[in-house]
Each structure stands twice: as structure tokens, then as C-alpha cells.
Amino acid sequence: MEHTVTLPQLGEDAGDEATVSFFHFEEGDEVKEGDALVEMVTDKAAFDVPSPVSGVLKKILADEDQVVPVGGPLAVIETKE
């Protein structure tokens, strides 16, 4: 089963988009639920988006320095379920 990881809702002061800083994993890597998947940056802060599921990072959908809106796709994780 595939799960698309999206940019979560940001804090009230953070705006409605963030920029991809870097991914902590590469395509094909195994990730566990809660692992820091990708670092994102806003005007106010840098933060990690955790993996919502355990599985294999199948596809990275957002490039470094790409601006992603809230709800925008970041990656696809393939789970065993």
C-alpha cells in the first residue's frame, strides 16, 4: 500500500507554505513511523516532517529548495499492509 506524505498544517504564524531543505533518507531506504523524513524551512523556523508510517521511501516528490504549500505532496512511502 502506498502512503503519500504531505506538508502538515503549520502554526498560525508560520504561513501556508514551506521550502524543502533536505531529505534525511534516499529513495529505497527503509523508514520507521516517527523518523524525521524531511527538513522544511519557513521564514521563521526550520522543522522536520516525521514519517507517518513505517515502510520504504518509494519516491521523493519535492526537490530541495522547492516551495511546497500546506497539504502539498512531499514523498511516497510503500507500506507492507
CATH number reported for the structural domain that contains residue 40 in this entry: 2.40.50.100
Q: Which domain holds residue 31?
A: 2-78
Confidence of residue 14 (pLDDT cuts 50, 70, 90): confident
Q: What is the pTM of this model?
A: 0.92
Nearest to 69 by CA among 24, 21, 19, 13: 19
Query: Is 66 a residue whose pLDDT tops 90?
Result: yes
Query: Is 8 a residue whose pLDDT tops 90?
Result: yes
Half-sphere exposure of 35 (CA within 13 A, CB side): 16
Of residues 21 and 80, the one with the higher pLDDT is 21
What does the radius of gyration of the chain's CA atoms come to, in whole angstroms?
A: 12
Query: Is 13 a residue whose pLDDT tops 80?
Result: no
Query: Is 71 a residue whose pLDDT tops 90?
Result: yes
Structural domain total, the chain: 1
Average pLDDT over residues 32-57: 96
* Cell reading at 41: 524551512
Rounded CA separation 52/3 (Å): 9
